[in-house]
Amino acid sequence: MASADESLVCQLDDGRTAAEPCVLVILGASGDLTARKLIPALSRLHDRGALPAPFQIVGMARRTKSDEAWRAELRETVAALPAHSSLPAASWDSFAARLSYCTGDLTDPAAFGRLASHIRERAQMPWARRILFYLATSPSQFSPIVENLCRAGLLERGRSPEAWQRVVVEKPFGHDRPSAATLNAELLRFIDETQIFRIDHYLGKETVQNILMFRFSNAIFEQIWSRESIDHVQITVSEKAGVGPRGGYYEEAGALRDMVQNHLLQVLALIAMEPPVSLDAEAIRDEKTKLLRSIRRIPPAAVARQVVRGQYAAGAIDGQARPAYRQEPRVAPDSSVETYVAIELFIDTWRWADVPFYLRTGKNLPLNASEVRIQFRAPPRVLFAAQCGPLLDANAFTLRLQPDEGISLRFNGKIPGTALRLRPVRMHFSYHTEFQAYTPEAYERLLLDALAGDATLFIRRDEVEAAWAIVDPIRAAWNGIPLADAEFYPAGAWGPRAAEELLARQGRAWRNPQPV
Ligand code: BG6
Could you tell me if 245 and 164 lie in one domain?
no
What is the average per-residue pLDDT within 386-398? 91
In a domain, 180, yes or no: no
Of 170, 194, 213, the residue that ends a domain is 170
Would the pLDDT of 445 be above 60?
yes
**If you measure from the C-alpha of residue 36 to the centroid of ligand 1, how many angstroms do you get, rounded to a whole number?**
13
CA distance 338 to 336: 6
Nearest CA to ligand 1 atom 8: 258
Handedness of CA 208, 271, 413, 505 (dihedral sign): positive
**pLDDT averaged over the chain?**
94
Per the domain annotation, does 382 fall within a domain? yes
pLDDT class of 15 with cuts at 50, 70, 90: low
Rounded distance between C-alpha atoms, residue 507 and residue 213, angstroms: 32
Same domain assignment for residues 156 and 304:
no
Tell me, what's the pLDDT at 6?
72
Task: Identify whether residues 127 and 42 lie together within a single domain.
Answer: yes
pLDDT at 16: 57
Domain count, the chain: 2
- C-alpha 263 to ligand 1 mean position (Å): 8
The pLDDT of residue 14: 66
Residues 6 or more apart from 507 whose CB is under 8 A from it? none
In three-state secondary structure terms, 489 is strand
**Domain check: are 280 and 221 in the same one?**
yes
Q: Is the pLDDT of residue 413 over 90?
A: yes
Domain boundaries, position 373: 203-504
Cβ of residue 441 lying under 6 Å from some atom of ligand 1: no
Residue closest via CA to ligand 1's atom 5 equals: 258
pLDDT of 3 > 50? The answer is: no
Verify that 486 and 361 share a domain, yes or no: yes
The CATH number covering residue 278 comes to: 3.30.360.10
pTM of the full structure:
0.95
Mutation probe of ligand 1 site: the residue of 32, 202, 340 with most atoms within 8 A of C-beta: 202
| Residue 181 belongs to a domain | no
Q: Rounded CA gap, 200 and 458, in Å?
A: 7
What's 65's domain CATH number? 3.40.50.720
Q: Is residue 186 part of a domain?
A: no
- pLDDT at residue 475, rounded to an integer: 96
Does the CB atom of residue 344 touch ligand 1 within 6 A? no
DSSP letter string, 384-419:
HHHHHGGGSPPPEEEEEEESS-EEEEEEEEEPSSSS
pLDDT beyond 60 at 1 = no
Q: Per the domain annotation, does 183 fall within a domain?
A: no
Query: What is the Å distance from ligand 1's center to 397 Cα?
Result: 24
Strand order in the sheet with 488-490: 422-430, 406-414, 396-402, 369-376, 230-238, 357-362, 340-345, 307-313, 488-490
CA distance 292 to 269: 6
Q: Which residues are CB-neighbours of 414 under 8 A, at least 6 positions away?
A: 420, 421, 422
Tell me how far the alpha carbon of residue 54 lies from the centroid of ligand 1, in angstroms.
32
- Looking at 126, 148, 170, the residue that finishes a domain is 170
Go through 90-113 and write b for each residue having 16 or more CB atoms within 10 A of its CB, e for each that does not: eebeebbebbbbbbbebeeeebbb
pLDDT above 60 (res 17): no
**Would strands 369-376 and 307-313 be described as parallel, antiparallel, or unpaired?**
unpaired
Mutate to test the pocket of ligand 1, among 259, 337, 361 (most ligand atoms within 8 A of CB): 259
Please indicate, yes or no, whether residues 372 and 483 belong to a single structural domain of this protein.
yes
- Across 239-293, the runs of DSSP E, i.e. the strands, are none
Antiparallel, parallel or unpaired: β 55-61 and 164-169: unpaired
Vertex 263: Cα angle to 271 and 287 (nearest 5): 40
Tell me how far apart the alpha carbons of residues 314 and 165 are, in angstroms, rounded to a whole number. 48
Residue 422 and residue 289 share a domain: yes
Digit-coded pLDDT (tens) for 80-98: 887 776 778 899 999 999 9
Instruction: Specify the 3-state DSSP secondary structure of 184.
Output: helix
Range with lowest mean pLDDT among 47-51, 233-237, 371-375: 47-51
User: Domain boundary at 170, 187, 221, which?
Assistant: 170
CB of 239 within 6 A of ligand 1: the answer is: yes
Residue 59 to residue 283: CA distance in whole angstroms: 34
Q: How far is the CA of 265 from the centre of ligand 1 (A)?
A: 14
pLDDT digits (tens, 9 = 90+) for 259-317: 999 999 999 999 999 999 999 999 999 999 999 999 999 999 999 999 999 999 999 99
Does 99 have pLDDT greater than 70? Answer: yes
Instruction: Report whether 368 contacts 341 (CB < 8 A).
Output: no
Q: Please report the DSSP string for 137-158 in residue order.
A: S-GGGHHHHHHHHHHTTSS-SS
Listed in sequence order, the residues at least 6 apart from 286 whose beta carbon sits closer than 8 Å to its beta carbon are: 276
Residue 494 scores a pLDDT above 60: yes
* Closest protein CA for atom 14 of ligand 1: 202
* pLDDT at position 250: 95
Residue 187 lies in a domain: no
pLDDT in tens, 185-238: 999 999 999 999 999 999 999 999 999 999 999 999 999 999 999 999 999 999
| Shared-domain flag, residues 162 and 219 | no
Q: Is the pLDDT of residue 4 over 60?
A: no
Question: Over pLDDT 90: what percentage of the chain?
Answer: 87
Q: What is the pLDDT of residues 460-486, one digit of tens each?
A: 999 999 999 999 999 999 999 999 999
- 305 and 406 both lie in a single domain: yes
Provide the pLDDT confidence category of residue 11 given band limits of 50, 70 and 90.
confident
In this structure, the answer to whether residues 210 and 144 fall within a common structural domain is no
Active-site amino acid positions: 263
Same domain? For 437 and 341 the reply is: yes
Contact 397, 214 (CB under 8 A): no
On the question of pLDDT at 7 being above 80, the answer is no
Which of the four pLDDT bands, split at 50, 70 and 90, describes residue 244? very high
Q: Which ligand 1 atom is at minimum distance from the Cα of 246?
A: 8
